[in-house]
Amino acid sequence: MPHKNPRVSAVVDKALMKWLRTKADDQGISVSLIVRDILMRVRAEEEERYWAAAGEERLESFSYGQAVEHEDAWS
């Protein structure tokens, strides 16, 4: 039967599973939701690092002499 959301299967060691179950019990949610939240957090952190690096790269190549004034850009 098709599911609304895609599924992922992962193999973890006993200690990690115990930690996941404890965390899920403490928060009153399922282990799968704990894993989903962790994956979403890691993805957001990776995205943040990517954009921070892209911003740093742009700052290094930025030239104030060639920059367009705000008023000129919108008129």
pLDDT at 53: 97
pLDDT at 45: 98
Per-residue pLDDT band at 75 (split at 50, 70, 90): confident
The domain locations on the chain are 19-60
Q: What DSSP assignment string belongs to 36-70? A: HHHHHHHHHHHHHHHHHHHHHHHHHH--TTTPPPH
Higher-confidence residue of 3 and 7: namely 7
Per-residue pLDDT band at 64 (split at 50, 70, 90): confident
The tens digit of pLDDT for each residue in 21-60 reads: 999 999 999 999 999 999 999 999 999 999 999 999 999 9
Q: Is the pLDDT of residue 1 over 80?
A: no
What phi and psi values does residue 64 have, to the nearest 5 degrees? Answer: -65, -30
